[in-house]
Amino acid sequence: MANIITRKSVMTLFSSPTCAMSHCARFVLHEKAVAADIEYYDPANPPEDLLELNPNGTSPTLIERDLVLYDSRIIMEYLDERFPHPPLHQMDPVSRANARMQIKIIDQGWYLLLDEILFSGEKKSARAKKMLRESILSNAPVFAARPYFMSDEFSLIDCAIAPLLWRLPSLGIDVSTQNEVINNYAQRIFKRPAFKRSLSEAEQEMAEPLK
């Protein structure tokens, strides 16, 4: 692994190969076509290089020179501002604020339920699966209204949603609708070259239930 002195001249993203939040950051990195090193690691056993920069060893962690960022959403925002083309936020302040609020709602709803599915007991996990499925299905009209989530243009909101949707089949969660608006939306995002490049080997295997 590169030492810290060498790393200061290179952008590096430390990432769990299975964490959905880390996947979001990787998706943005590839949408921006940023030349960066992605170093996969086990969050239960963080490498010493990472612990020297982020004592918590949390995933994802972005390193660029003397900058160290720990939070997935902060990393996504930073990458969008640091590399403005193509923009993943609309330019006007109201639209940007609404997008940030929507991502926060997704985090406090869908991602909290995902954590409960992955890290709680069987009973709580089953309940969380049911709640997550129902919550996503209740948003079918939103998925149907525009090509992307609440927008005519691909945005950070889509980068936040896609990694979660990618994991649903492997969790046994079916969000099919009569007109397939959610699955059609998901496939539209999954076909993006940047999304394909963002997948770790472990995440590629999550697609097995789709076959």
DSSP H/E element including 64:
strand 61-64
Q: Which of 11, 13, 19, 75 is catalytic?
A: 19
C-alpha 177/C-alpha 184 separation (Å) is 10
CA angle 199, 205, 208 (to 5 degrees): 125
CA angle 140, 177, 108 (to 5 degrees): 40
Q: How far is CA 196 from the centre of its chain?
A: 13
Burial of 185 (0-12, 13-18, 19+ CB in 10 A): buried
Q: What is the CA radius of gyration of the chain?
A: 17
The verdict on whether 24 is a catalytic residue reads no
Rounded to the nearest 5°, which phi and psi values hold at 111? -75, -30
Which residue numbers are catalytic?
Answer: 19
